[in-house]
């Protein structure tokens, strides 16, 4: 191998090493960018899961409150119906009593 061939070989090796170094740096930058994207994706995924859990919790709580209020409403309506029935009975008794005292108003 003469000096010219050696220099050509040396230049080829140097250029190849330089290209390889550039490619490795680019690959490392792409890997870092991919890692940052993956980290951001994971953070977003955790946030979405947390928001979903929070929304589900609120929804369950509101559903429980609605059911409780519905039961209270039904209990109130039952008491109202009972009270109205008692009032109706008392009014009928009063009407009967009044009509019993005044038989001419029949």
The domains of the chain are located at: 3-100
Mention every residue, 6+ apart, whose C-beta is less than 8 A from residue 99: 105, 106
Question: What would the pLDDT profile of 55-94 be if each residue is shown by its tens digit?
Answer: 999 999 999 999 999 999 999 999 999 999 999 999 998 9
The pair of three-digit structure tokens given for residue 11, joined into one six-digit string: 């230049």
Model confidence, pTM: 0.52
Taking alpha carbons only, the member of 93, 89, 92, 69 closest to residue 81 is: 89
The residue whose two tokens read 């290209």 is 19
The single-letter DSSP state of residue 14 is H
CA distance 88 to 102: 21
């Amino acid at each position: 191998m003469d000096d010219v061939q050696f220099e050509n070989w040396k230049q080829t090796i140097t250029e190849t090493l330089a290209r390889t170094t550039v490619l490795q740096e680019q690959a490392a930058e792409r890997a870092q960018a991919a890692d940052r994207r993956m980290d951001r994706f994971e953070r977003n995924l955790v946030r979405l899961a947390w928001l979903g859990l929070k929304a589900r919790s609120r929804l369950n709580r509101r559903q429980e409150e609605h059911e409780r209020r519905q039961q209270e409403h039904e209990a109130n309506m039952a008491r109202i119906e009972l009270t109205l029935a008692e009032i109706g009975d008392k009014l009928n008794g009063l009407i009967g009593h009044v009509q019993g005292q005044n038989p001419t108003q029949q």
